[in-house]
Structure 1
Amino acid sequence: MSETGRHADVPEESLPSERTAHDSAPVKADNPFADPGLPAHEHRIQDIDEKAARRSERVVAYFFLLSMLATVAFIASYVVFPIDKIVFIFPLGHISALNLSLGLTLGIALFAIGAGAVHWARTLMSDEEVADDRHPIEAEPEVKAKVLADFAQGAKESGFGRRKLIRNTMFGALALVPLSGVVLLRDLGPLPEKKLRGTGWKKGIRLVNQSTNLPLRPEDIAVGSLTFAKPEGLEDDDEEFNNKIAKDALMLVRIQPQNIKDKQELEWSHEGIVAYSKICTHVGCPISLYEQQTHHVLCPCHQSTFDLSDGGRVIFGPAGHALPQLHITVKDGYLEAVSDFAEPVGPSFWERG
């Protein structure tokens, strides 16, 4: 029998062009499959048994509590494990105990929050499927009101206000997890304490030519010359040389005393020899350019310019403050420091007054 013949025997009301029992949209006549609609909703055990709902609530709370404990363990790892402690873990091999503990505890903290939220949604929040017709992108006032009503209904069905145990433990877990980020920021490096305020210069330490490694005499500094110096005892092969020279680097110039404008600078100099930090006060670049006629030094990085005849003050560029001066004198024919710099060298930092 042909298709036409078969259709002729089918009652008119059962043709696929009609609406389904679920009042779905009309199906095109050339589509032989009607919209089956949504299946009947099956209630979960938590929906009909309050004891089961309580058990699920406790499980969710346990996940959030586990996250809180893992976050506390994450922070405690910084105290318990030294940074250089190595342990053997099969099959990972030899790894840092601190890194392993940080990874495990932070992973557990984040996983527990996610697992708790998923279990909450799967067992306690409403899971009834609702079909809604598509609508234009621009919502009508009635639709907006419906969305707000649906949101309020969803909030009510989630039990967020009624199930205080879940709510409070979730807030606790979410409040503690950000502390991991604070601890990670703290781990960017050791606290500077007072290391930024002091250098290797002390009373009685001789000035050594950085090029020749010989102690400097006043006659070694010619008018108009620029000489770089370091503290006596700081050797190039020192393991901490780069860290120390970054603060101790010194430059010396000889200016006619009558051309020195700053009174303190004149008192801290010797026969016109002035000593200033070589580290720019902008971002810490080494200063290396000197103009003999103007007594200006120039930082090659961002062109900050300082006047060495007027207290090392900034006359151009982004530097925030003057170059620190080192008080020097002469003993037994050699230049030496009277004290450390009166202020921290290099760029500004938060704790700087």
Structure 2
Amino acid sequence: MRPLHVGPYEVWPPVVLAPMAGITNAAFRQLCREQGGGLYVCEMITTVALVERNPKTLKMIAFGPDERPRSLQLYGVDPDVTAKAVRIVVEKDLADHIDLNFGCPVPKVTRRGGGSALPWRRRLFAKIVRQAVAAAGDVPVTVKMRKGIDDDHLTYREAGLIAQESGVAAVALHGRTAAQRYSGTADWDAIADLKQHLDVPVLGNGDIWEGADALRMLAHTGADGVVVGRGCLGRPWLFRDLEAALTGRGTEPTLPALGEVAAMMRRHAELLCGVFPTERDACTDFRKHVAWYLKGFPVGGDVRRALAMVSSLAELDDQLAVLDGALPFPQDALGQPRGRTNSPGKVALPYGWLDTRDDESVPEGAELADSGG
């Protein structure tokens, strides 16, 4: 197993935390980094919000003092605005690595021609990536994308080659189309196909639930690393398991008893207090994680609801004390999807989007003002 190289940076083990809206803030990234090595990407930042110096967006670009390389994902549809945003990142020394988002399947993004819809317009895609790489200078730029809009409109191979020719340091492929959203099974064959066509590192994303899954994906695809998203929700120790698997120390999953999970929950909330302006804000943000941490454990609805309504660390401590710390980890929750598991559906696109692939004009109203997704 070789380290992953992203420009001048060596990433070991070759694991990348995917940016997730409302999840991958500095606190969650630190929690995961305490478990194992890798590259940890902050929440998605929109280019227009960065260019306009949106206060909320600027606060989201926060990294720990020992977080290196600092990895930031940008979402943009306008090549000129994207280039301006990249120049700000470089000139203000906001990050060491920039990832470009062409994988988001959310309707509010694709109906504007952004995210996973954008590579269909190959000339616009090329222009965005080319200008971003030129503006970045020595800062490595990577691209994250999906297979395409749907099975009849696949773009990943051509987009990967365009990105490589434009000078990106690596390409990450989520083995699903936009139409699949987060349903079904990721197509690892597509990742293997892309790897065969590119010289730059290729990262595989999709259905990494356990350390053993990472080994299977790398063996199946020949990819240079794995990208992990939903699998770590409520399980930050997954990065411990990934490091063990990828360094040859074994693939047995970590099975923390409920008491250990409770300690991890407390640590998570404590770290959030260092990110949010008030303890109440931090605990409010923590609430969304409760169901993921308790997934599969026989914990009653009243306790779950109480934990999902805490407003202070003291309240959290009181509720965690109610849990039976000796309860074993539910092994039937292993290898199972976590987070979003929505159904496939028709992709929302701008009018006439599929009529041509060579229109490089920027769709009207395409840019998003809100960072984080």
Q: Same fold, TM exceeding 0.5? A: no
- Structure with more contact order per residue of length (Cα contacts < 8 Å, sep ≥ 6): 2
Q: TM-score, normalised by structure 1?
A: 0.20
Q: TM-score, normalised by structure 2?
A: 0.19
